[in-house]
C-alpha cells in the first residue's frame, strides 16, 4: 500500500495540474493590475496604439500640449513600442539621472543601423560592451593636455570667421557652416582647411547631407517600429528612400576610413598635427608598430566629427538669431563685452531648447530605453520602454524661466559673473545620465570662443528691408532632420569700430601663425 490514500493522491494530482493555470492567472492579473498603473496618456487604438496621434514632425509640441491634460509623465504606445515622455525637469532628472543604471540603453534604430550603415555609431547602441571603451576614448582624447591645443584652433577659426564675415557679410550662413566643419575637422583629424572647397570638408559635407536626407526619408518609415522589415532590401519600400539610405551608407563608410587612413600615414611619417585621432593612435600603438583597437579609433573619431559639426553649427546660428531677438533691449554683456567675464552662452543653450532644437530624429533629445521594469511615483513602467526627455518643455518651465520665449541673458549673469543658484541649461542641452554628450567640453569652448569673438567685432542687427523697416527673422527652427536649424535668414553685421577691426587682424596673425600659411599636403 502506498503512503498516500487514493483520495489524497487525487487531490495532489488535481493541485499539480491546476497549479500552472493558477500561476498564469495570478501573473496575468498582476500584470493587468500593473498595467492599470501605467502613467496616463492618450488612449490609442488596438495594435497601432497612438500611431496617428503623433505628428509627422514637431512631436515635442504635441508632448507639451498633452502635458496640459496628462501631466509630467505621459505613456504612449506606437505599434507595440512603449514610449514614456518626461515632460518636466524633475521627471527627466529622476528617471534618466537618478535611475541611470536602468535607463541608459537606446531603443533600436534599425534603419540607421542596417540600411544607413550606422551600426558602428555608439549613439545607436545599448549601454553595454564596447560602448564604455569608446566613450572613454572621447573623454581621454579631450583632456587637459589636449584642450589648450584645440582651443587655439577654435580661436583661430573664430577670428577667421569674423574676417570672412567682414569681407562678405551676406554669406554668413555658409561661412558659419564652413567654420564649424573646419574646427571639428581640426580637432578630430588635425587637418587644416585653407581652400574654399577642401576635399576633406567635401567628404564631411557629403556625409552630413546624406545623413539629413536619410533622416528625412526615415521620418515616418514603418521599419523604424517593425525592425524585422529591415531584413528585406530597402528598395521594396520605395526607390527614393532606398537611394537616400544607400548614399548615406557609402558616405559614412568613406568618412570612417579615408581621413583615418590619412592621419595614420602622417603619424608613420611623424608629420601628424595634434588631434583626437593622432592622440588615440599613439596611445594604442603596439611595440611592433601595429595599432590596437583600430576599428574603435576610426569609428569613434568619425562619430565625433559627425556628432559635433552639425549641432555646433546649429548652435552658432541660433546665437545670431538670439542676438536679433534681443534687438533693441539693453544688455550690458553685448556692448563692449569682456571676453572672460560675461557668459551669455548658457542663455543660448536654454533658448535653443525653447525653440525646439531636436537632436536625433524628431524627438526633443536622443531617446533612452529602460533595461528592466521600473516603478516611479506609484506607476509601473515596463522594461524596454523608450524614454523621451522633452528638453523643449524643460527649457520653458515658467516657474524657473518666466516668459520663456524671451531671450534674456540676465537670467543667468549680471554681465560680470554667472549666477551660481541657476538651473543650468547645459544640463538639458547635452543630454542625460550615463549617455550625456562626451564632446560637450569641445562644443562649449567652441561656442564660447565664437560668441565672444563675434560680439567683440560686430554689432549684430536686424537687416533693413526695402521699405526701410527691420526684417523680422523667423525664430521657429526648421525641425525634423537629425538636428534642427534656423531657417535661412538675413541680418546686418556692423563692425564696432576701425580699432576693433585692427585688433581682429593683429590677433588673427598672432594666434597660431603657422596655421595661416602652410598648405595641406594630403588629399583623401
8 A C-beta contact, residue 491 and residue 460: yes
Nearest Cα neighbor of 256 from 325, 202, 305 is 305
Scanning residues 29 to 68, which ones bind ligand HEM (CB under 6 A)?
Answer: none
Specify burial of residue 459 (Cβ count, 10 A radius: 0-12, 13-18, 19+): middle
Please report whether residue 263 would count as binding ligand HEM according to CB under 6 A: no
Please report whether residue 259 would count as binding ligand HEM according to CB under 6 A: no
8 A C-beta contact, residue 484 and residue 224: no
Please report whether residue 475 would count as binding ligand HEM according to CB under 6 A: no
Binding mask 328-367 for ligand HEM (x = CB under 6 A): -------------------------------x-----xx-
Question: Residue 73: beta bridge partners?
Answer: 86
CA-atom Rg of the chain in angstroms: 27
SS3 387: strand
In angstroms, the CA 237 to CA 225 distance is 14
In angstroms, the CA 294 to CA 257 distance is 11
Please report whether residue 484 would count as binding ligand HEM according to CB under 6 A: no
Q: Which stretch binds ligand HEM (CB under 6 A): 152-160, 167-175, 399-407, 433-441?
A: 433-441
Q: Which stretch binds ligand HEM (CB under 6 A): 328-336, 435-443, 458-466, 496-504?
A: 435-443
Please report whether residue 491 would count as binding ligand HEM according to CB under 6 A: no
Give 49 or 439: the residue with its C-beta nearer to ligand HEM.
439
Nearest Cα neighbor of 522 from 285, 156, 284, 275 is 275
8 A C-beta contact, residue 244 and residue 216: yes
Number of residues that bind ligand HEM (CB under 6 A): 25
Q: What cell numbers appear for 234 in the block? A: 530597402
User: Residue holding cell 549684430?
Assistant: 460
Give 153 or 435: the residue with its C-beta nearer to ligand HEM.
435
What minimum distance in Å lies between the beta carbon of 73 and ligand HEM? 18
Please report whether residue 409 would count as binding ligand HEM according to CB under 6 A: no
Nearest Cα neighbor of 349 from 306, 401, 305, 386 is 401
User: Which residue in 165, 256, 326, 429 binds ligand HEM (CB under 6 A)?
Assistant: 429
Nearest Cα neighbor of 484 from 397, 380, 392 is 392
Give 203 or 429: the residue with its C-beta nearer to ligand HEM.
429
Please report whether residue 437 would count as binding ligand HEM according to CB under 6 A: yes
Scanning residues 441 to 470, which ones bind ligand HEM (CB under 6 A)?
Answer: 442-443
Nearest Cα neighbor of 117 from 252, 3, 262 is 252
491 is in an annotated binding site: no
In angstroms, the CA 124 to CA 224 distance is 13
Q: What cell numbers appear for 220 in the block? A: 515616418
Give 133 or 271: the residue with its C-beta nearer to ligand HEM.
133
User: Which residue in 63, 66, 70, 123 binds ligand HEM (CB under 6 A)?
Assistant: 123
What minimum distance in Å lies between the beta carbon of 311 and ligand HEM? 4
Phi-psi region of 270 (alpha: psi -120 to 50; beta: other; left: phi over 0): left
User: Which residue in 41, 110, 364, 438 binds ligand HEM (CB under 6 A)?
Assistant: 438
Scanning residues 294 to 333, which ones bind ligand HEM (CB under 6 A)?
Answer: 303-304, 307-308, 311-312, 315
Q: Which residues are annotated as a binding site?
A: 437
Residues making contact with ligand HEM (CB under 6 A): 122-123, 135, 138, 303-304, 307-308, 311-312, 315, 359, 365-366, 429-432, 435-439, 442-443
Q: Which residues are annotated as a binding site for heme?
A: 437
Amino acid at each position: 500500500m502506498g503512503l498516500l490514500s487514493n483520495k489524497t493522491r487525487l487531490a495532489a494530482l488535481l493541485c499539480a495540474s491546476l497549479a500552472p493555470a493558477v500561476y498564469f492567472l495570478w501573473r496575468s492579473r498582476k500584470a493587468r493590475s500593473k498595467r492599470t498603473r501605467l502613467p496616463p496618456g492618450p488612449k490609442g487604438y488596438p495594435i497601432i496604439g497612438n500611431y496617428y496621434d503623433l505628428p509627422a514632425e514637431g512631436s515635442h509640441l504635441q508632448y507639451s500640449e498633452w502635458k496640459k491634460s496628462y501631466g509630467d509623465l505621459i505613456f504612449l504606445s506606437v505599434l507595440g513600442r512603449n514610449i514614456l515622455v518626461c515632460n518636466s525637469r524633475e521627471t527627466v532628472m529622476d528617471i534618466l539621472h537618478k535611475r541611470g543604471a536602468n535607463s541608459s540603453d537606446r531603443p533600436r534604430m534599425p534603419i540607421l543601423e542596417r540600411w544607413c550603415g550606422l551600426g558602428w555609431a555608439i549613439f545607436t547602441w545599448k549601454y553595454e560592451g564596447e560602448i564604455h571603451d569608446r566613450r572613454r576614448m572621447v573623454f581621454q582624447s579631450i583632456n587637459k593636455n589636449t584642450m589648450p591645443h584645440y582651443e587655439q584652433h577654435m580661436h583661430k577659426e573664430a577670428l577667421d570667421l569674423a574676417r570672412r564675415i567682414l569681407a562678405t557679410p551676406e554669406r554668413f550662413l555658409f561661412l558659419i557652416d564652413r567654420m564649424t566643419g573646419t574646427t571639428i575637422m581640426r580637432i578630430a583629424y588635425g587637418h587644416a582647411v585653407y581652400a574654399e572647397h577642401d576635399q576633406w570638408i567635401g567628404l564631411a559635407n557629403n556625409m552630413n547631407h546624406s545623413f539629413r536626407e536619410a533622416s528625412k526619408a526615415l521620418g515616418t518609415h514603418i521599419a523604424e517600429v517593425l525592425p524585422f522589415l529591415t531584413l528585406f532590401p530597402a528598395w521594396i519600400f520605395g526607390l527614393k528612400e532606398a537611394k537616400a539610405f544607400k548614399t548615406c551608407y557609402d558616405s559614412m563608410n568613406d568618412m570612417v576610413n579615408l581621413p583615418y587612413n590619412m592621419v595614420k600615414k602622417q603619424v608613420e611619417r611623424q608629420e601628424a598635427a595634434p588631434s583626437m585621432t593622432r592622440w588615440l593612435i599613439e596611445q594604442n600603438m603596439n611595440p611592433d608598430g601595429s595599432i590596437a583597437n583600430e576599428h574603435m579609433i576610426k569609428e569613434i573619431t568619425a562619430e565625433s566629427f559627425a556628432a559635433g559639426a552639425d549641432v555646433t553649427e546649429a548652435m552658432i546660428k541660433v546665437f545670431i538669431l538670439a542676438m536679433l531677438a534681443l534687438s533693441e533691449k539693453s544688455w550690458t554683456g553685448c556692448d563692449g563685452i569682456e571676453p572672460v567675464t560675461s557668459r551669455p552662452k548658457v542663455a543660448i543653450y536654454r533658448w535653443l531648447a525653447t525653440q525646439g532644437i531636436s537632436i536625433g530624429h524628431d524627438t526633443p533629445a536622443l531617446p533612452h530605453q529602460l533595461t528592466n521594469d521600473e516603478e516611479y511615483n506609484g506607476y509601473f513602467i515596463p522594461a524596454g520602454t523608450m524614454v523621451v526627455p522633452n528638453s523643449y518643455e524643460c527649457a520653458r518651465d515658467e516657474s524657473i524661466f518666466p516668459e520663456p520665449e524671451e531671450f534674456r541673458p540676465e537670467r543667468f549673469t549680471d554681465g560680470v559673473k554667472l549666477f551660481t543658484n541657476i538651473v543650468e541649461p547645459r544640463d538639458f542641452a547635452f543630454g542625460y545620465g550615463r549617455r550625456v554628450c562626451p564632446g560637450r567640453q569641445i562644443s562649449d569652448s567652441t561656442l564660447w570662443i565664437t560668441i565672444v569673438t563675434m560680439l567683440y567685432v560686430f554689432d549684430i542687427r536686424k537687416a533693413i528691408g526695402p521699405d526701410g523697416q527691420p526684417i523680422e527673422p523667423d525664430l521657429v527652427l526648421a525641425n525634423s532632420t537629425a538636428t534642427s536649424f534656423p531657417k535661412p535668414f538675413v541680418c546686418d553685421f556692423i563692425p564696432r569700430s576701425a580699432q576693433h577691426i585692427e585688433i581682429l587682424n593683429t590677433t588673427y596673425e598672432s594666434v597660431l601663425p603657422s596655421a595661416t600659411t602652410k598648405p595641406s599636403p594630403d588629399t583623401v
